[in-house]
Structure formats: structure tokens, C-alpha cells
Amino acid sequence: MTAPCPGPFSPGYRAAGVLLHVTSLPSRHGIGDLGPAAFTWIDRLRDAGLAWWQGLPVGPTGWGDSPYQALSSFAGNGLLLSPDRLVEDGLLGPRDVGDPYFPALSVDYESVIPFKRRLLEAAWRAFRVGQRPDLKAAFEDFCHRQAGWLEDYALFRALKERFGGAHYLTWPRELVERRAVALAAAAGDAAAEVDQVRFAQFLLSRQAAALKAHASERGVRLIGDLPFFVSPDSSDVWARPEIFLLDAERRPRALAGVPPDAFSADGQLWGNPVYDWDALRVTGYRWWIERIRAVLAHVDVVRLDHFRAFAAAWHIPAGAASARGGQWVTGPGAEFFGAVARELGRMPFLVEDLGVITPDVVQLRDDFELPGTRVLQFAFEGDWRSPHLPRNYPANAVVYTGTHDNSTTRGWYDALPEASRRRLWNCVRRINGGSRDAVAAMLSLAWSSPAALAIAPFQDVLALGDEARMNVPGAADGNWRWRCTRDTLAPETFAWLRDLTVVTDRAA
């Protein structure tokens, strides 16, 4: 089978980019946002000859602040709103923002969340009393065009606030079951809160559109990230229970995870609800296609997380103590991607094909000519047949030194057994070096490889250790907090990376 429409890379394409979550950008407001630092970041990438910026999911986060457990597949995270841009828009004054103090190297969510909430409330009040009347028509148009998800999400957030952040399954039964009379009454009672949620999404859409336009002008393409599963406590499950495998009480009948492997004797029990693909098939996969469109509104290409689940996913019976008792359940496969191709006219995807990869996953990826993922940190743990060794890469692939779930490359090297260190130095044909030398060698390997696209987390560009690690899978606290400083966006930071990008024929 040949791909029905083009993917992101043409034959012979070579480019490079950097992985950095928006929250990790510098800002005096406690968390990276869509403001001036993001524009400067794009300029630095352009100046270094880098054609791609990859981020993490940007949905509204809930418990654990994880971008992979968003409260909606369609909404944006209000914490990413730039106060500086709101001041420029005349919706905030300098005195509204003040001069707050936040840690420079990490996100203190406990302080940032109330601070950003206060600013949004001030911007909403200003808009309601007549500031920026020229935005009224655009706001109303946005609400009309996005009503398919926005109405449910806005009410979901208003109700969640009313019930102290509790899981929606603990709400009154008539709201859990979305009885029309109860929903209408709740929407009326919470009209002001619902409108403020809509307004926040409107502002996010404006700021994201401005950032994408700037990136396009600079020749930098944006890679978004789409988690396969949704959070169990999300407006997605609350508003669309018919597309998930739920019981009569709206509780999941099966949960997502992965089977036992060499790293975990019990496997991993993630706890996300799983899809009713039969119900989705009847609609032509409409909800999924609209979900993809929502991400593509503000990026150029989408990374499909946990791609293997499109072929088959590990379903674990609800109530199970571990993932051991799960089973593989067939996913939508080629039929799904055929529907997406017909709707979009292209295949704007990179796929995360890591983990337990069976022949059906490989065939699905290759049938649609989708670029797969290679991770250099995995290359030196096995033998020379490892698919993560550069000599074994196909051209239609994306190579990473590491991902957001890995140690930084410097931290990885510091913990690497001596035998694996020797494999690394043999691969680059040089004598042993220190951990900083290892980081440079790993970037050089990635950039020199046959893969169409080479990407490094910004922590690796800076040669930082595990103090800068973004996420430790399985750890409940302390993740998603790392931030870079304003000094690290100085042009000098990127000079050596530009040289590497030019020498390896990846310069934009």
C-alpha cells in the first residue's frame, strides 16, 4: 500500500530542531508562556539554522500538572497566556501584573495558578466594562465556531470549580448523566464563569495564532503533541461518554496501560478510559478528526503519542491491581488513517512507535509512510542490531538524543555502565571523554545520522544534568517544572549548534 497523501518529509529532506515545552521558557511571571520569550526562542532557532520547534501537549492540566492528563483534548492551558501580551492588548495594566517573584529555574504551580487566575479575572472584567470593544465580534465568532467543544468544556470547568475540583463522577447524578434540565440550570447559574472560560480560550487562540504566524515568517515549523488517551476526569469523557467503554455508572469498564516487560514485572496501569472504536467508526471517526484539527490549528505537524495503540492497545479490566491481567485489543488501524487522509488531504504526523512494537504496528506505520521515532539513549543498551543505532535508521525517521521521559543525556551518561560507555565511544570513533563530551558526541551522532529530522531537548543543548529532567515516569510529584533562564536564550548558546547543523547538511 502507498500513502494516499504526502507526509511531512519529502525524499532527501534533512533538518534539525529542539524539543522544549512552552512552560520551560523564561518569564518573570513564573511559567513560560506565549509571549516575548517564545518569539525570541523562534528567532534563535532560525538564526541557528534549525527548522523545527517541538513542544509537549498544551491542554489545561489537572492533577499532577501533567500535559498528558489534560482536562480537555481541545482547550488550551490558561497558564500559557502571556500577561505581557494582555498588557499590550489593553486588557491589563502594568499595575495589574505588578512585579511578582517566582523561582527562576522551576515552575511553582502552587503560586503560579492563583496568580494567573487573578490576571485572567482582571482581563475579563476589563473586557466586560468596555475595554477593547473591537474584540467583541471576534470573541463572538470564536465562540460560535468552536461551540462543538467549547460549550461543554466551559461548563465542565465552571462545575469543577463549584465542586471544589472534585472528579466529575462525584457530582450530582443528574449532572454526571448530563440530563438536559440539570445542564440548562447549571449553565444559567454559572453563566458568568462559563463566559470567562470562553474568553480565556479566545485569548489563548489569539496568542497562539500570533506565535504561529511569527514562526512561519521565520521559516520555523511547529510540532505539537497529541496524547492517544484522554484523562478519566475530563470534559471529553463527561461530554462524550458514548465513544468510551463505560459502564452504566459512567465508570470505565477497562483501563489503558502497557503489559509487563523487562523494565516492569507488573506492566504499567495508566488508568485512562479506552475507546469504543465501533461507536467512533460509525461517525467516520469524527471526534478524533476534530481533535487532530484542534491541534493543527496552531502547529504544522502533530506527534502521535503511543502510536502502537492505533494497531492494538493493552486493555486492563477495571479494578485490576496491576496491568498483568490485560489483553491486546485491536485498534482502528488503516481504516482510521484512511479517513484522516481523506479529511485533511495530507498526513501531518510523526509517530512515537516505542515500547512493545509488533509487526502490525510497523506495517501500519510504513503503509502510510509515517516517520517513526529513534532514541539515541536506547542505542547502547543492546547489540549492534538495535533499531536505535544510527547505522540502522531509515531516512523517514526522527531521531532524538532523549525525550521528555528520559534523563537528560548528561544524566544518562553519568549513570551508564562502563560497557555501554565503551559502545558509545567506539561508535563515535574516539577515546573516552567526560559527560559533557558525551553530550556533544550524542548530538553529533543524531545530526550526522540518516534520519530526516534530528531533535534534541534543550537541556541537552545546554549539557545539563538530571537537575533539569522534565519528567520521571511513575513519580507523582516534582515533574513538568524545569525552566531555562533568559541568559540561555543568548545567541552565543546556539553558535556551536549552528556549526553542527551546517556541517551535517541540516541547516534550514
Nearest CA among 428, 429, 424, 405 for reference residue 413: 424
Residues 6+ apart with CB under 8 A from 187: 155, 194
405 included as an active-site residue = yes
Residue type, 149: W
Q: Which residues of 450-479 are buried (b: 16+ CB within 10 A; e: fewer)?
A: ebbbbbbbbbbbbbbbeebbbbeeeeeeeb
Catalytic residue chosen out of the listed positions 43, 177, 305, 367: 305
Catalytic residue among 151, 405, 437, 466: 405
CA dist., res. 147 & res. 133, Å (int): 22
C-alpha cell at 15: 533538518
User: Cα(first)–Cα(last) distance of the chain, in Å?
Assistant: 32
Give, as one character, the DSSP assignment of residue 491: G
Strand residues in 234-348 grouped as ranges (E): 254-258, 268-273, 301-304, 312-317, 327-330
Nearest partner of 368 among 334, 416, 418, 401, judged by Cα: 334
- Measure the CA–CA gap between 401 and 299, rounded to whole angstroms: 22
Cell numbers placing 437: 563530551
Among 204, 236, 251, which residue's Cα sits nearest to residue 79? 204
- How many whole angstroms separate alpha carbon 276 and alpha carbon 51? 38
Residue 374 DSSP SS3: strand
- The strand ranges marked E within 160-205 are none
Q: Is 252 helix (H, G, I), strand (E, B) or coil?
A: strand
CA 217, distance to chain mean position in Å, is 23
Distance CA 271, CA 282 (A): 26
Q: Of 99, 89, 80, 103, which is closest to residue 30 (Cα–Cα)? A: 103
Tell me the β-bridge partners of 19: 54, 457
Name all contacts of 413-417 with Cβ < 8 Å and 24+ positions apart: 413/438, 413/439, 414/465, 414/466, 416/380
Q: 453 φ, ψ to 5°?
A: -130, 130
Contact between residue 302 and residue 292 where contact means Cβ atoms under 8 Å apart: yes
Where do the DSSP E strands lie in 101-159? none
**84, 89, 352, 460: which is the annotated catalytic residue?**
352
In total, the chain counts a number of residues equal to 508
Q: How many angstroms separate the CA atoms of 196 and 128, rounded?
A: 10
Catalytic residues: 305, 352, 405
